[in-house]
């Protein structure tokens, strides 16, 4: 089970995803909101800004995570934890090997996108040689 640490941000996880899945996630040098590298996601044949500081950016990032799972033939689930704790969202990704053989990755995050992005990062790391 994975839980994003308090110090770990969505920006950190998206930077990791840019290294693990560069065809889906990327980094750009300059963006009008500031300096540094702004995460981007490739959806519908175009790059979109996945700025973790804006609701639209978080929506783009979450959609990109879901699309990456589907492109790999993986199943994903995302739940809101009704207990209301600090890490109140739970994500699961099933990496399919065959009809009855799969590997499960799961974990919590403070937002839906942080939960699924963290679990996707861990699934991609586990798959890497």
Structural domains in the chain, CATH included, are 2-127 (3.30.2120)
**Mean pLDDT of all residues belonging to the chain:** 82
pLDDT above 90 covers a percentage of the chain that reads 36
pLDDT above 70 covers a percentage of the chain that reads 79
Reported as a pLDDT band with limits 50, 70 and 90, residue 5 is low
Quick check: 91 and 115 in contact, CB under 8 A? Answer: yes
Burial label, 111 (beta-carbon count in 10 A; 0-12, 13-18, 19+): middle
Tell me 75's DSSP state: E
Read off the pLDDT of residues 32-84 as tens digits, 9 standing for 90 and up: 445 556 777 877 677 787 778 888 888 999 999 999 999 999 999 999 876 75
pLDDT of residue 91: 94
Please list, in sequence order, all residues whose beta carbon lies within 8 angstroms of the beta carbon of residue 64, skipping any fewer than 6 positions away.
24, 25, 41, 42, 43, 50
Q: Token digits for 112? A: 């839906």
Specify the higher pLDDT residue, 15 or 99.
15
Task: Write 72-77 long-range contacts (CB < 8 A, 24+).
Answer: 74/123, 75/102, 76/116, 76/120
- Rounded (10°) CA dihedral 108, 112, 113, 117: 30
pLDDT of residue 94: 92
pTM of this prediction? 0.83
Reported as a pLDDT band with limits 50, 70 and 90, residue 1 is low
Q: Quote the CA–CA distance of 67 and 7 in Å, as a whole number.
A: 26
């Amino acid at each position: 089970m994975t839980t994003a640490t308090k110090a770990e941000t969505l920006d950190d996880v998206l930077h990791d995803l840019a290294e693990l899945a560069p065809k889906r996630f990327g980094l750009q040098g300059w963006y009008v909101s500031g300096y540094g590298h702004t995460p981007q996601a490739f959806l519908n044949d175009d790059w979109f800004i996945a700025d973790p500081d804006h609701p639209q950016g978080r929506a783009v990032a979450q959609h990109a995570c879901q699309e990456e799972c589907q492109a790999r033939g993986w199943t994903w689930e995302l739940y809101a934890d009704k207990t209301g704790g600090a890490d109140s969202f739970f994500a699961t990704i099933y990496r399919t090997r065959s009809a009855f053989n799969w590997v499960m990755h799961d974990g919590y995050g403070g937002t839906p996108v942080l939960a699924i992005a963290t679990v996707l990062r861990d699934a991609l790391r586990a798959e890497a040689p």
